[in-house]
Structure formats: structure tokens, C-alpha cells
Amino acid sequence: MFEPPLQRVIDELARLPGIGLKTAQRLAFHLLHVEEADAVRLGESIIELRRLVSLCGRCFNVTAEQECTICRDLRRDPAIVCVVERAQDIAVIERTGEFDGRYHVLGGALSPIEGIRPDQLRVRELVARIDDEGIKEVVAATNPTVEGDATALYLARLLKPLGVTVTRLASGLPVGGDLDYADEITLGRALAGRREL
Amino acid sequence: MFEPPLQRVIDELARLPGIGLKTAQRLAFHLLHVEEADAVRLGESIIELRRLVSLCGRCFNVTAEQECTICRDLRRDPAIVCVVERAQDIAVIERTGEFDGRYHVLGGALSPIEGIRPDQLRVRELVARIDDEGIKEVVAATNPTVEGDATALYLARLLKPLGVTVTRLASGLPVGGDLDYADEITLGRALAGRREL
């Protein structure tokens, strides 16, 4: 349809998640009209990304080194590990400033519907770390979804016999929220998890 | 926040139109997890785009040569030129199979609000083509917006004294549409432009 080099960019962009053919066309034409240096910088940054960034050998976080900055930080408590579904979840938890242990990226959550079983997640690697690093507590910070809850429960059953405390992030009302707008499941969990003041 | 090479990709992606920081993060993490060859192919296609594709010296369409495939096509009628706002509009008109003249990409539409004046569009280049190529009709295919209409009117006033017929794409009801859903301005134009059967 378009000139081959242009069509190629459109096709490659359209393979990205959430980018349809129309958006890919719009982006490709945008790249044709910006400063050439800007377009080249985008292209190079994508190529460099894969050359420079890989996954931490310990926790599977994103890193430019053998191990990620968090695993290499000696001030972090190695006895407590926060298990997340995806590497990008780490940044969200780090931003709270409330956690000073290490992480473990599972690579997803259990899902019978999508056919995701424990051996497709990094569960074996987590179990190996329990002994190696003397982990005492695992915080299951998987998403508060059916899949995330099931994964947390699975981890609890698997790790408790190893003498590890498995905890779960609290579910409840979002801070600044409004009771009126809370769904009944969230409100139910907020009630069940109520604390004495 | 993230490792520098990752943050760089996020920043570059977030500069694209319609891509916010959140989407940029999602895309960057996606690129970290796909096959390395796929990520590299995207990066290279973007760099190649600017090396291989430029604008047609005659009509400012996108081309990998000195002139675009349409300008080089001897079967196209050089006496009729379709003026569009952007190069991507050419593909839309070509898809109808109803136009066999050449094109001219203005590079936008007149807009006093956004400060776009005739000297910021490729109007001078269009006027130069009238004589050079013996153009008899200019189809103003700018968008059916206030700016596009104003641009079409401006071109009509400018080019009529040169002996050129300036025409405008018909406004009216979209084919397959429903009277109930037509806005009053479109319906008004459909009435004003009614034809005898």
C-alpha cells in the first residue's frame, strides 16, 4: 500500500499491544515528519534496550548488570521477599517507600483458563531462593484478581511447610475513595479486614 | 526511575503523539519480553524509514525515490490535481479508485487560531505547478472542517484568476448512514447539494 520502508514501520508498530493499524499509520507518518535525529533516537533506544538490559539472575527484575540494583543493595533485608506478577510492578511498590526487602518476579499469575500452570511461572526459582537466602517472609503482591488471589493461595500452601510466613497485601477501600463508589466485593473485604483503632 | 536504557525507551516512546507515560511503560516492558529479533526489527525499521523515505519533490507525497510513484505514473492525468492536507490522505483517496490525476500535499490547513498562514503551507509550490504542468482543475480535498473549508475557499480565490477550475469534495450523508443520526450541518449541506435523479 505505502512505500515499502513506510509500510514496514507501520507493520512493526501494529504488532505492539494496543496499537492498531490506524494508530500505527498515524505514528509512522509522525516519525516521517519529526526531526530525523528524533526518529533515529527512538529507533536506537529500542535496539539498545535489548543489548543493554536483561533480567536479574536472582529476582528477574529488569537490570543492566548481572543482578538488579535492589538485589545488590546491601541495606535491603534479604529475609523478606515481595512476589509480584510482572517486573513493572516493582516500580509501583518501590514508589511507596514502605518496603525494604527484595523482590521476586513470577512472570504472571496462575490461570486455568489461559492454561498458565505453576511450572510456567518462576515458582521453582522462588523455592530455591528460600533456602539459599534464608527467606523468612514472602509477601504475595500479586494483583487483587481471581488469578492473583489463586496464585497467592498456591504460594501460601507451597511455602508454609518450608517454614516461611506468607502474607498478602491488604484489600480494602482506596485512600481518598468514597464508600458510595466502592464495589461490594472490595467493601466486603474492607469489612472482613477491619482493624481496631 | 527505571534502569537508564529502559527509561530512555520509555521517554522516547512517550514523545509520540497519543502515547502517554503509562502506555510508553507498557510498550517498553513489552519490548523487553518479546523475541530480541522482533524488538531490533522495530528499531531498525524506524531508523531505515528516515534513511530511505523522503518527500516527493513535486507533490510532497511520501516516496523512496526522487518523485513518488503517482507523479512518475504516465497514465495519470497531469491536468487535474487533488490538494490534500497531509500525505496520509492520499492513500485514502487512492483506495476509492475514483481519481486518476496527481496530488499536492499542503502540509496542513489555514488556521488563524493556531497561527497557520498560507506561507506556512505549500501554496507557493502549488502555484508554481499550475504553470509548469498545465494544471486545469484543482480538487480541494482538505478536510470538511472550518479550517479545511477556509483553505479550500482561499485556494479558489487564489487560483481562479489563473484560469484554474477549483472544485470541492461533496459534503453530505455518509453512504449507509441514517438520517436520524446525521448532524444538522451535514444534513443542511446534503440538502443544499441535492441532485436531480
DSSP state of A83: E
Residue with cell 493499524: A21
Whether ipTM tops 0.85, in short, is: no
Q: Measured between CA atoms, how close is A194 to chain B, in angstroms? A: 33
Locate cell 466502592: which residue? A182
pLDDT given at position A196: 74
CB-based contact B17 A30, cutoff 8 Å: yes
Residues of B in contact with A17 (CB under 8 A): 26-27, 30
C-alpha cell at B69: 510513484
Q: What is B77-168's CATH number?
A: 3.40.1360.10
The maximal CA–CA distance of chain B, rounded, in angstroms, is 68
- Residue A72: CB atoms within 10 Å: 13
Residue A27 identity (one-letter amino acid): L
3-state secondary structure chain B: CCCHHHHHHHHHHHCCCCCCHHHHHHHHHHHHHCCHHHHHHHHHHHHHHHHHCEECCCCCCEECCCCCHHHHCCCCEEEEEEEECCCHHHHHHHHHCCCCEEEEECCCCCECCCCECHHHCCHHHHHHHHHHHCCCEEEECCCCCHHHHHHHHHHHHHHHHHCCEEEECCCCCCCCCCHHHCCHHHHHHHHHCCCCC
Asked if A4 reaches chain B (Cβ–Cβ under 8 Å), the answer is yes
The pLDDT score that the predictor gives to residue A162 is: 94
**Residues in chain A within 8 Å Cβ distance of B96:** none
Inform me whether the pLDDT recorded for A188 exceeds 90.
no
Class of domain A4-52: mainly alpha
pLDDT of res. A26: 94
Instruction: Check if the beta carbon of residue B166 is closer than 8 Å to that of residue B160.
Output: yes
Pairing of strands A54-55, A62-63: antiparallel
Least Cα distance to A146 among A185, A184, A179, A182 occurs for: A185
- Sorted by where each begins, the domain ranges of chain A are 4-52, 77-168
Interval A133-153 mean pLDDT: 93
Cβ of residue A42 closer than 8 Å to a chain B Cβ? yes
- Walk along chain B (197 residues) in steps of 10 and give the mean pLDDT of each run: 90 96 94 92 95 93 93 95 94 89 95 92 96 94 92 95 92 81 82 78
Instruction: Determine the Cα–Cα distance for residues B179 and B190; give it in Å rounded to an integer.
Output: 11
Amino acid making up residue A68 = C
Cβ-contact A159, A138 below 8 angstroms: yes
Pairing of strands A77-84, A101-105: parallel
Q: What is the pLDDT of residues A39-61, one digit of tens each?
A: 999 999 999 998 999 999 999 99
Confidence of residue A186 (pLDDT cuts 50, 70, 90): confident
